[in-house]
Amino acid sequence: MAKDIRERRAERVKQGQLKRTAKNYQWGILGIVGIVLLVAVVALNPGLIPGPPPSKKTVHEHAAFAWYVEGEHVSFRHPAYDFSSGYNDVVHMHYSGQEADNNDVLHIEGSYVAGIPSWSLKRIFEQYGLKVAQSDITLDRLDSHNGSRWVDSGNLTWHFLVSKQAENEARQPFAPLTGDYTGYIPRDRDKILLTYGNPTPTELAGEEQGIQDGPWTPTGPPSG
């Protein structure tokens, strides 16, 4: 009788071992299937695997600009436009309160993800509260700007011209930009003229000459 009891116990142990082995095989098969499915999904969608962090570039450039509306200069000389500190965008202006302050200069300083720069004219001026479209511009409501809006109508239109100068090279004459100027990316040493109306060549030349020089700086680390 004792022998029968031992045999039954041994049989139960054996059956338990067989069940555990079968369950382990099942989990193993499920694991293999899961890995195969994961490999297939990743192969079809390689972007799911996080790659290395995007590389960044450092920029330190300046571009001077001027706005005119029917011959009248639109000033940006105001402390509200001073983003010289505490602002997280690459492009900003400086203001010291002096009449001769070099305020109508875009300071392009900082780091950005390598690739196509994102500081288009549209983005730059809209960060100051303007609404900028190809033929329709509305200023912010600060002081003399007063939310003024100018839309192309008849012979009164927006004109956009740029004078470029590569480092250590002669300055190029002002030339109109074709296409949508709002997407233009200012470059180091650019002189940018935005003027509304129907200016004569003489009036245009005067507005172009009114755009100040500098400070032009070679590419290097940001100065803060």
Q: Which pair of tokens denotes residue 153?
A: 């109508």
Q: Which pair of tokens denotes residue 38?
A: 């994961």
Q: Output the tens digit of pLDDT for each of the chain's 224 residues.
A: 555 555 566 556 455 555 556 565 565 666 676 676 666 655 666 555 555 655 667 778 889 999 899 999 888 877 777 765 555 567 888 776 655 554 588 888 777 666 666 788 888 888 888 888 888 999 888 777 888 898 999 999 999 999 998 888 889 999 998 888 888 988 889 999 999 999 999 999 999 988 877 666 544 333 44
Decide: residue 184, CB within 10 A, 0-12 exposed, 13-18 middle, 19+ buried. middle
Domain residue limits, the chain: 2-48, 56-209
3-state secondary structure (DSSP) of residue 200: coil
Q: Angle 89-93-95 (CA atoms, 0-180°, nearest 5)?
A: 135
Q: What is the pTM of this model?
A: 0.68
Rounded to whole angstroms, the Cα distance separating 190 from 56 reads 23
Q: Evaluate whether 56 touches 182 at the Cβ level (below 8 Å).
A: no
